Structure 1
Amino acid sequence: MAESVSTEARSDDGPIPPPRRKLPIFTIVAFAIVAFFAGGIGGSFQAKLTEVQKNDNASFLSRTAESTLVADESERFVPIQYLPGFVVFHRDSGLTDADRAAVADARTAITRVEGVDVEDMTPTEFSADGTTAAVFVPLLASRDGTDVTGDELVATEEAVLDAARDAAGDTGLEVYPAGVGGLLTAFIAAFEGIDSSLLLTALGVVVLILLVVYRSPVLWVFPLLSALLALGTASMIVYFLADADIITLNGQSQGILFVLVIGAGTDYALLLVSRYREELHAYPNRFDAMIRAWRESVGAITASAVTVTVALLCLMFSELNSNKGLGPVAAIGIACTYVVMMTFLPVSLAVAGRWVFWPRQPRADHAVDLATHGMWGRIASWVGRHDRPAWIGTTLVLLVLFAAGIGSLNTDGLTTTESFTTKPDAVIGQELYTEKFAPGAGAPAVVTANAGTTDALIAAIAGVEGIATGPGAVCPQVDYAKARALLAANPDLANAPSLGCPPAALTVTPVDGRTMINAELADSYDSPAALATIERLREAVHAVPGADARVGGNTAATLDVQQSSVHDRNLIIPIVLVVIFAVLAVLLRSLLAPLLLIATVVLSFAATLGVSGFVFTHVFGFAGTDPAFPLFAFVFLVALGIDYNIFLMTRVREETGRHGTRSGVLRGLAVTGGVITSAGVVLAATFSVLGILPLVFLAEIGFAVAFGVLLDTIVVRSILVPALAHDIGRTIWWPSALTRGRP
């Protein structure tokens, strides 16, 4: 049934004029149509994002990192780059003759697998106790500068394992992957299904929460459909940018993009729908109600989107390409979410009519003033009566939470084997290999330097603590073309034991006066001991006169990632704080209020770090956190935590103009309490879904953001901020004109 033209609506404060229709209606409708088709088309790109992911350490680093410079130089000496890996064969009671024959058959079968650098495979190793064999299987990572994709590496590794297990048969001989190649492909494989299992779980959680919040079997469809359209549009944009190498996308960024769009989109929808329901009580015409709701919501939602987007873009100041990539990836997600939620969602809701709220359809009964109704009205009254004890008490609680667990938070990094919440075969294989063989084999430190200093460098490297001391541990790079020619002429040399470094005739020829040296580490390539060895090695070779030496390799790349993470954390956190302060100052037209809001959110962040440190160590049993964890947690918690303060304080400012500051604080808290708490629960639930992926870093981010958001919505935004603002009174708006209004 068509609705009549709106008449004068009333609230407890008097008449509410019809909303001014000076809105860009046609523009909004046009954007809604474009969003519908773009989101629909873009949905197919969600599954394709894994095709443009880069998950190796080298892809994370800047072009000026020392390990990156060495990797670039290495291609001049070894045009075929590979990821060193192993296939480990094990039997507790000892390998039988049949097992050894199966291992030989497996090695032969592996040489026929496409994607394996067969020419660089070495003879099979057997452990001293006779229980384990290891076949060195280098996976082609690049050839002549062309990189192999992550999906191709995983496919090659799976084919290698299939060949090895087929050869082993059903004899009880255990077969596991190991080494850099095995662990990296396990890491990449952990993200398989991210576009299905993670997304479906997040959507399922949001549907359940929205059913409870809206108490309608229909209404939840509209915000969820809008979020999916936003995700489709963002996925399409991110795909083309990553495919063109404009941004770097990895599995972590993709997972965060999915939950961020679903969570933030639902938050924006909750705010708009809540205001729309409120205005439907005042306006008989649903279009008038939506115009009013849109007008009153757009400021807070825009400020929220801008704050989060700008904070995320601050990650582009990072040294790490992974952080640089996450910034625009997540910012694109927020921007697409904002556009869809402010165009498609309001248009679709207004066109659909009041029935979408069934069975609790709002009527034009003029029950607009919600400030004196419900649980949040009672909470607001309590805050008003106990403002000073409330904000002092909550501040002390947050400080206690910080102090109780911050000492348990270890941000020194995780080894690759410690990075999984489960125990994949690659971790079991790596543990076996480290126990049975030289743990540093297969992933040497790589030194590039001026050719005339080779002897001095080898002497300096050999004297570094943590460098292996066996024959051939520190040698110039072998020229594989020369070695293959020698083997072709003398096949019997293939089975000859290694007696040390190859003769000079088989080493690489200097290029532009530079050469390359390999140094075997005494410890597993990703262990803390190996990282410490790289630091000592760099100090030693940098001190060799005239060498201009650089140290790279897999361990050096891991070290560079960790050091860059610390640099990024120390640089970006202050930048984000300054940016958020500027946005809040413009929005609230105040200098004091933004300072206080940022202080409360930083305090909440500190409390979250304390709780996270305790839970990670004493509950989950994680070995530590990635050095990037504090930065990621800060960006998401502070940006998203400020969101809820924006939603609250924009409404408080609106109410202050009519009722004074202290009354405005309480009315703003009462009216927004339910919707903001619901938004916080939705966002916390969606981020907690990251825990379904078997990676410690994402589980930690998911927990920290979920706990921090709940702490922010339940404690900081519900008690600390309104109590502090109520206690301060109109001075909180300094230096705006509101400081001269009613207290």
Structure 2
Amino acid sequence: MPLKFQHRSLPNRWVQWVIKHPILVVLAWVLLAVTLRVAAPNWKSVALDGDFEYLPAEMTSVAGGRLLDEAFPGERSRSQIVLVLARNKDKESASEFSKTDRTVGYDLLRRLYHNLGVVSWRRAIESGYQGGPIVADSSPEPWLNLAKDAFDASISADEKFYEQIADQVPDDEPTLTKPRMAIAYWDRGKLLESIGGFPEIVSKDFEAALVLKPDLPSVSVPIDERAIDPWRSMLDVLSWNDPVIGSQLRSDGARLAVMQLSSELAATGNIATVEAVKALVADVMDYSSRYTEPGIHLEITGSAATGGETLAAARDAIRYTELITVVMILVILAWVYRAPLLIVIPMVSIGVAVLVSTSLVALLSDWSMREVVPWLDMRLFTTSRIFIVVILFGAGTDYCLFLISRVREEAATADWLQACATSLSSVLGALVGSAMTTVVGLGMLWVAEFGKFHYTGPVIAICLLVGLLVCTTLTPALLALIGPASFWPAQIKPSHAPPVSLMGDRNSDSDSGGIWAVIALTLTRRPFLTLFSGLFLLCIPAAYGLKNEKSVTYDLSSQLSSNAGSRVGLRLLSEHFDIGKINPVTLLIVQPDDVDRKTLETQSKELAKQIYELEGVLTVRTADDPLGDFSPSQEMGLLSSAAWKRRALRNHRVSKRYFFSSVQPYENRLARLDVTMDGDPFSIETAATVTKLEQFLIKKTESESSDFSGATVLLAGTTPSIIDLRSVTLRDNRRIKIVVVLAVFLVLLLVIRRVLLCSYLIVTVLISYYATLGLTILFFRFAYGDDYVGLDWKLPLFLFVILVAIGQDYNVYLVTRIVEEERRLGWVAALRRAVMRTGSIITACGLVMAATFFSMTASAWLPPIAEAFGFTTSSNDAMLRGIVELGFALGLGVLIDTFYVRTILVPSFVAAIGKWRQSREKNRLREQATNASS
């Protein structure tokens, strides 16, 4: 039987082809999904992480980092893990670091230094070392020297450790690392044997290793075959045990060991590194804490620890979100339809959409990074997957619900295939319109300067387009194939009215629509009262949200829950040390012309004196004072202990090639200083201090009388990166808000074609955004209590874009139905019928979307609930607050749009405009009648 349409338009011809050839449609999607899945790389292999890496290239911190890489190749520490061995000061037990506490410290150091030695030796081999004496100034030279020093430090710590436990050695079978570091003696012997010239030490090392572990030769793995991946980014280990720099890393109650890493703080590899360090710490505490008094703590913190735990929390959040999203969708579909196949059809459609879209963007990203397609510029991020899954499941389910509800309505008066075709044709415009508001809104993030915004929005938009295509082709094709049995156990036959659980009676304007008939009647009777009172109530939280929109935090550590390891370690560290000292600001000054090294040193020393006098500066580290131990103006005698210490520091491996570059064209031109600030590196107050420092330096370069006139000044480090990130994202916020609002307004105008109504819809969603933001701030202020420092800095922008875009979906569904009904009814009847016909299904759609967004909060509540029932969820106990906050805000915003804006504000506005126009028309007719009678 041929399908009938009122118009033979292109969309209708498309609909007709889909309904007539459902098998071909299904096979095409299956083939496409399989092909893309096979061709696309694994998501993890192309997904990127980090924030600072994606700032614009011209930003000071980015340019400073790039200069460090060029001037000090292979030696730049991008992040660090700080291990804090201490007792809590606020505990009743003694907080002083005791002699027996050193046992735990020596056990830690012997293991850390051995790992450093192995990694450094491997790095020398990768640099071309094949054996023989160390060649000065060769690529392997620094790594071989570091490997030797690290093995020496490991063995030294091992000897001190054994002195502490000699009378208490357990009877356990010896291993490579317990009770002695047999493997360290063996590895040092092998290294020195390869270098040559140390026969006596080699012989003693091998002898000691075999005494400690007789079967060591058979169980030891050659150095170039060892699995060192978690430790590969280690550049150095600085510890309290160092005779030269150790004084900076110990206090009365604590000791520090600092692992310097080559990886950026949010590099994906830091997850494995942090997990490996945590495993090492647990092993140390399990083995050595028995030798000292209870109350000793060994915690990790530092930028890499924070970054690694943040990424691990994001990984867990993705897993929890995907699980809870699927469960929630299944529950809602079961509740709405109570029909097994109507649960399967949307889930299959959305599953195909997720598979195809994620494979497609992964493939495109891989092509972009490998420059397979020169003009293609696309990147994926780990957390992008959360948005893709949530939005695809939410929007895809909404599309399916809207289509299926219309099929049920149409099947009451037409045969099945005609009902499918008519339904798809009727809702296609609304689905495309609602989808395009989201696609265009998210796509506008392309104008952002910040890389994460710039790439994430268009990627989600592409995935949503795939989801729309699937739901308007595969879903109706499956319905056409399965037939009326889709609604089993319900019976759907022509001329047989469908159940009213979703839609109400098609041929009646009576109260058969239930609650929606009551709402429609109330809104059309008192539109002005409901409109103005509704707007007033929503404006109260909106005013609070507007006032506090910029009160966000850029503190990466605050994104983790208070029980996260890195935050526990940071609290322990701050009890004994100034935390600013582990996150200095690196100052780089490049002279326009070459000067000799001595002059450069003198200029640096003089500049350090001036910087030291600035407010908020704690120390200035220079080549003359590598640890910043002394005031730059302090004079000391030639034979004083301070002078001897300075000379020792200048010859330490940490200082060599650290403050001056030996790489052309920076040799005799570049000076490096490290400035430590008084305060939290992430705080606004510290940022203000660093900004003043930068302004001071710029004035120096602009002054013709200055030694640094015409020089280039760049800053690098955590605080300069935070300053740049804040600057860029604030600019992006202003720009993106404007273009998103304009783009969504234009889409609404194309779909609805009514300027006043489209303008009002934009206004309502803006008020809804600020109200949601205000309520979210109030909620988390209460939930976090004293631990609240502000919402995640990414939340306002993502909330704005997604709410402005997705928040229009339900308005489009309602308004397009009003327009459709108005073609044959007056505005009052059209509004009432549209509210009744769409009320239940839009509510169901809103609940689905809100549920999927709320699933982003699963990492906050799922693990404790699962553990209460005896299930183990993850070894990571950190929660990513930013994702939890955004999920809560988005879910709340969708509920406000669904139950308040769409239910009250939009219909009441339409009714008010209709009543106003009706009143004007009556007045016009009355005037005409009066004029005619006169």
TM-score normalised by structure 2 residue count: 0.70
Q: C-alpha displacement at 1:651, in angstroms? A: 0.6
Q: C-alpha displacement at 1:666, in angstroms? A: 1.7
CA distance in 2, matches of 1:119, 1:494: 24
CA contact (8 A) 1:402 1:608 kept: yes
CA contact (8 A) 1:475 1:518 kept: no
Residue of structure 1 equivalent to 2:379: 248
Do residues 354 (structure 1) and 484 (structure 2) align?
yes
Residue of structure 2 equivalent to 1:530: 686
CA distance in 2, matches of 1:175, 1:51: 33
CA contact (8 A) 2:523 2:530 kept: yes
- 1:10-29 correspondence runs (5 A): 22-23=13-14, 25-26=16-17, 29=22
Q: Which runs of 5+ in 2 are unaligned?
A: 89-93, 120-227, 241-245, 290-295, 370-376, 498-505, 629-643, 702-709, 860-878, 919-924, 926-934
Question: Residue deviations 1:456-493, cap 9 Å, x none?
Answer: 65445333333322665997999xxxxxxxxxxxxx99
Do residues 374 (structure 1) and 513 (structure 2) align?
yes
Q: C-alpha displacement at 1:697, in angstroms? A: 1.5
Q: C-alpha displacement at 1:175, in angstroms? A: 2.8
From 116, 121, 133, give the equivalent of 2:237: 121
CA distance in 2, matches of 1:589, 1:504: 68
Q: Secondary structure at the residue paired with 1:120?
A: strand
CA distance in 1, matches of 2:891, 2:915: 33
Residue of structure 2 equivalent to 1:237: 360
Do residues 317 (structure 1) and 502 (structure 2) align?
no
CA contact (8 A) 1:601 1:641 kept: yes
Residue of structure 1 equivalent to 2:335: 212
Do residues 700 (structure 1) and 885 (structure 2) align?
yes
Residue of structure 2 equivalent to 1:67: 61
CA distance in 2, matches of 1:88, 1:673: 59
Question: Residue deviations 1:536-556, cap 9 Å, x none?
Answer: 222122222222312222221
Q: Secondary structure at the residue paired with 1:426?
A: helix
Question: Residue deviations 1:22-74, cap 9 Å, x none?
Answer: 33544685554333333456568999323333322222312222211111111
Q: Secondary structure at the residue paired with 2:519?
A: helix
Residue of structure 1 equivalent to 2:410: 279
CA distance in 2, matches of 1:313, 1:574: 13
CA contact (8 A) 2:85 2:105 kept: no
Q: Which moved more, 1:642-651 or 1:372-381?
A: 372-381
CA contact (8 A) 2:622 2:672 kept: no
Question: Residue deviations 1:632-684, cap 9 Å, x none?
Answer: 11111111111111111111100111102232122111111111111111111
Q: Secondary structure at the residue paired with 2:48?
A: coil
| One-letter amino acid of the structure 2 residue matched with residue 618 of structure 1 | F
| One-letter amino acid of the structure 2 residue matched with residue 166 of structure 1 | D
Residue of structure 1 equivalent to 2:696: 540
Distance 1:587 1:118, change over 3 A: closer
Distance 1:649 1:681, change over 3 A: same
Residue of structure 2 equivalent to 1:563: 727
Residue of structure 1 equivalent to 2:676: 521
CA contact (8 A) 1:477 1:508 kept: no
Q: Secondary structure at the residue paired with 2:383?
A: helix
| One-letter amino acid of the structure 2 residue matched with residue 660 of structure 1 | G
Residue of structure 2 equivalent to 1:163: 280
CA distance in 2, matches of 1:312, 1:275: 28
CA contact (8 A) 1:84 1:180 kept: yes
Distance 1:377 1:43, change over 3 A: farther
Q: Secondary structure at the residue paired with 2:298?
A: strand
CA distance in 2, matches of 1:569, 1:506: 38
Residue of structure 1 equivalent to 2:534: 394
Do residues 418 (structure 1) and 551 (structure 2) align?
no
Q: Secondary structure at the residue paired with 2:255?
A: strand
Q: Which moved more, 1:594-603 or 1:128-137?
A: 128-137
CA contact (8 A) 1:139 1:153 kept: no
CA distance in 1, matches of 2:440, 2:751: 14
From 322, 331, 344, give the equivalent of 2:461: 331
Residue of structure 2 equivalent to 1:465: 615
Q: Secondary structure at the residue paired with 2:346?
A: helix
CA distance in 2, matches of 1:535, 1:474: 25
Count of matched residue positions in the alignment of Structure 1 and Structure 2: 704
From 49, 54, 60, give the equivalent of 2:48: 54
Residue of structure 2 equivalent to 1:631: 797
Question: Residue deviations 1:230-275, cap 9 Å, x none?
Answer: 1111211222233334333333322111111111111111111111
CA distance in 1, matches of 2:547, 2:623: 40
Q: Which moved more, 1:265-274 or 1:133-142?
A: 133-142
Q: C-alpha displacement at 1:371, in angstroms? A: 4.9
Do residues 604 (structure 1) and 768 (structure 2) align?
yes
| One-letter amino acid of the structure 1 residue matched with residue 50 of structure 2 | D
CA contact (8 A) 1:461 1:467 kept: yes
From 247, 267, 273, give the equivalent of 2:398: 267
| One-letter amino acid of the structure 1 residue matched with residue 354 of structure 2 | L
Question: Residue deviations 1:593-640, cap 9 Å, x none?
Answer: 111111111121121122122112123433202333221111111111
Q: Which moved more, 1:154-163 or 1:326-335?
A: 154-163
Residue of structure 2 equivalent to 1:673: 839
Distance 1:36 1:149, change over 3 A: farther
From 512, 516, 520, give the equivalent of 2:665: 512
CA distance in 2, matches of 1:149, 1:715: 40
Residue of structure 2 equivalent to 1:483: none
Residue of structure 1 equivalent to 2:429: 299
CA distance in 2, matches of 1:54, 1:411: 28
Q: C-alpha displacement at 1:207, in angstroms? A: 0.9
- CA root-mean-square deviation: 3.3
CA distance in 2, matches of 1:473, 1:190: 40
From 850, 874, 878, give the equivalent of 1:684: 850
CA contact (8 A) 1:313 1:327 kept: yes
Residue of structure 1 equivalent to 2:704: none
CA contact (8 A) 1:608 1:704 kept: yes
Question: Residue deviations 1:189-246, cap 9 Å, x none?
Answer: 1122455332111110111111111122331111112111111112112222333343
Distance 1:543 1:656, change over 3 A: same
CA distance in 1, matches of 2:507, 2:610: 78
Do residues 342 (structure 1) and 438 (structure 2) align?
no
CA distance in 1, matches of 2:831, 2:464: 29
Distance 1:194 1:499, change over 3 A: same
TM-score normalised by structure 1 residue count: 0.87
Q: Which runs of 5+ in 1 are unaligned?
A: 9-15, 143-147, 479-491, 734-739
Distance 1:257 1:707, change over 3 A: same
Residue of structure 2 equivalent to 1:11: none
CA distance in 2, matches of 1:34, 1:606: 44
Residue of structure 2 equivalent to 1:663: 829
Question: Residue deviations 1:522-572, cap 9 Å, x none?
Answer: 233323333223222221222222223122222211221122111111111
Q: Percent identity?
A: 25
| One-letter amino acid of the structure 2 residue matched with residue 571 of structure 1 | R
CA distance in 1, matches of 2:62, 2:452: 14
CA distance in 1, matches of 2:384, 2:64: 27
Distance 1:450 1:510, change over 3 A: farther
CA distance in 2, matches of 1:705, 1:337: 20
| One-letter amino acid of the structure 2 residue matched with residue 160 of structure 1 | V
Q: C-alpha displacement at 1:503, in angstroms? A: 8.2
From 873, 881, 894, give the equivalent of 1:709: 894
Distance 1:86 1:44, change over 3 A: farther
CA contact (8 A) 1:48 1:239 kept: yes
Q: Which moved more, 1:469-478 or 1:529-538?
A: 469-478
Q: Secondary structure at the residue paired with 1:319?
A: coil
| One-letter amino acid of the structure 2 residue matched with residue 539 of structure 1 | Q
| Structure number, greater radius of gyration | 2
Q: Secondary structure at the residue paired with 1:658?
A: coil
CA distance in 2, matches of 1:43, 1:380: 48
CA contact (8 A) 1:410 1:625 kept: no
Residue of structure 2 equivalent to 1:90: 86
Do residues 99 (structure 1) and 215 (structure 2) align?
no
From 24, 28, 39, give the equivalent of 1:34: 28
